[in-house]
Structure 1
């Protein structure tokens, strides 16, 4: 399947003729349960209006969109991924890089000597990878579209930093929030490591049961 990817500043999204198709595609994607471990409501809505994505990303955010079409036919949106500034609530529980509860390990080491136990902590990051979505049709899955979209987002981050003359000697920290039981394993395979977890009650993110949210991080370097 031939497709091309284009990056749009958040302020440009509403000017695109396919913005309603993108909104519909994102919502359809988020209503698909990718595993049998956690279920979501069939009416789960990620974007309630065409303007929601632009508003969520803010002035500095942007979106990579995978498109099919050569100008002679209607353009089809077959994927999207966005970047925005990372905002942390500081309510994460510490974990090991593969997602195990770090408190359990610490508790074993300190149970007999009275040392303090780990508590909730912040997860420092630079940017958040958000609203990664593909159409629910299986023909769009397993073709590397999501990977290409994420790469386009990362390349745009580096391009912006280079243009602005920012120091790239230290890696940028790309963050993502995921439901562990739903897509956690996928993002581990993409090179992200777990840096924190939160227990989320039924109803959060439209879930029908309690689940664990992971804060995951991957370092991005210009080298």
Structure 2
């Protein structure tokens, strides 16, 4: 890709196998606390209430800790179990620990980031989520020190979340880069690809499962392919 000087990446589902770590952590919690219920049902409810309470957090209706506690209490309530905030906080802290222990980058991510870093590309992040939690993930996979710190753009800190184009505009402004010189890699068409394209960035869809070939977007199925583009 010609003329690119600055490359932004999404985190979850792009650099990091978020779903893999999440599913393992959910299963560990179920086995310990509610083993009599199926993993399928427990996981479905947990994810449903995660989404519900994260939306409330993004809307400013509850704080970050409250959304974590509410996720657990809502899940337990769906199985006719009532727990207090202290017990829910204990469970969510254990979940987070399990999640972090199971967290890994996708194949070739770190080696490719190192390759781009050595080639003098400016590397950054545009991600939804809690600022400290997302930074912790980047450090866990040894990617943090390869990134330009001012180009690590996290929704909680900025006040806008993807797909709001303002978070992309903010990243562009901070970088001081012409939009045609920016590339963005993400795994979500609506959250990542479309808003970046609206700013005339070059976009690449991450399709690890190789199931999106029918879509008319530049895409890759492995991070290893990036070396052929830069």
TM-score, L = length of structure 2: 0.25
Structure having the higher strand fraction is 1
Give the TM-score, by structure 1 length: 0.26
